[in-house]
Structure 1
């Protein structure tokens, strides 16, 4: 079989879906390479800063690594702005969706909310509320997101910071994205049943 016969999903057979599952599994083995290409694309993304979006991402991950963060948080820092090109108004949520099957739910929550939390640094310049993030003040991961933004995200626009190459982080990406997706032992029992509530 080279392709299925059905034209509507409801008409598919067991054999066709097993065939498609094998193709999907083979395709998913290239996920890390596709992530690397997406990160490389950030080198030609939003301009105006002293570093490219790729350099910002690498620097954020390097700061997390230097701070002794675990693999999950370093990957979160590396990929946190991956949605900038395709989802400029909800880039945080897109990046969180990418990492969600592979990292602990705390990191997914941080990445999901980092865009809102970053507004504390600039929202007042646009007559917006810089403390909008405080609606999550009682969330158990509030301070973790504050710390992520302060230590890694907002600080990583420095052209003089010793920033490693993307190749440096490839083994880390391979480790994290080779995990079984949605493994409760990794992401948490509650998250495995569905997204963690805000």
Structure 2
């Protein structure tokens, strides 16, 4: 079989769905390669900063690594802005959706909310509330997100900061994304990801 015969999903046979599942498994083997390609593409994204979006991502991950963060948080830092080009107004949520099947719930929650928490540094320049993040003050991962933004994200626009090349993080990406998706032993506790 090279392609299914059905025109509506409800018409599909078991054989067709087994065939499609096999193709999907093969395709998913290239996920890390596609993530690396998407990260490289950030080199030519949004301008105006002193570093490219790729350099910002590398620097965020390097800062997390230097801080002793675990691989889940380092990968979260590396991929946290991956949604900038396709979802400029909800990039945090897109990045969180990408990592969610492979990292612990805390990292997904932090990446999901970092866009809102990051407004602490600039919302006042536009008449916004820099403390809007405080609506999550009682959340168990509030401080993790505050720390992520302070240590790894908002500080990662320094062209003089030593950062490794993307290849440095590739083995870590491959380890994290080789985990079984949605493994409860990895994901652990999850919390709702409201905006």
Counterpart-to-counterpart distance in 2, 1:38 and 1:167: 14
Counterpart-to-counterpart distance in 1, 2:44 and 2:27: 26
- Name structure 2 gaps, 5 residues minimum: none
1:22-57 CA distance string (max 9 Å, x none): 000000000000000000110000000000000000
Structure 1 position 197, deviation (Å): 5.3
Report 1:165-176 matches (<5 A): 165-176=165-176
Conservation of the 8 A alpha-carbon contact between 1:76 and 1:107: yes
Root mean square deviation of aligned Cα: 0.9
Structure 1 position 196, deviation (Å): 3.2
Counterpart-to-counterpart distance in 2, 1:125 and 1:155: 18
Task: Name the structure 2 match of 1:161.
Answer: 161
1:138-176 CA distance string (max 9 Å, x none): 000000000000000000000000010000000000000
Give the TM-score taking structure 1 as reference length: 0.96
Counterpart-to-counterpart distance in 2, 1:43 and 1:65: 21
Counterpart-to-counterpart distance in 1, 2:147 and 2:154: 10
The total of aligned residue pairs comes to 194
Does 2:47 align with 1:47?
Answer: yes
Does 2:192 align with 1:196?
Answer: yes
Report 1:1-150 matches (<5 A): 1-150=1-150
1:63-119 CA distance string (max 9 Å, x none): 000000000000000000000000000000000000000000000000000000000
Counterpart-to-counterpart distance in 1, 2:27 and 2:99: 17
Counterpart-to-counterpart distance in 2, 1:163 and 1:37: 18
Give the TM-score taking structure 2 as reference length: 0.98
**Partner secondary structure for residue 181 of structure 1:** coil
**Partner secondary structure for residue 129 of structure 2:** coil
- Name structure 1 gaps, 5 residues minimum: none
Moved over 3 A (4+): 195-198
**Partner secondary structure for residue 51 of structure 2:** coil
Counterpart-to-counterpart distance in 1, 2:125 and 2:63: 27
Counterpart-to-counterpart distance in 2, 1:86 and 1:3: 30
Conservation of the 8 A alpha-carbon contact between 1:82 and 1:95: yes
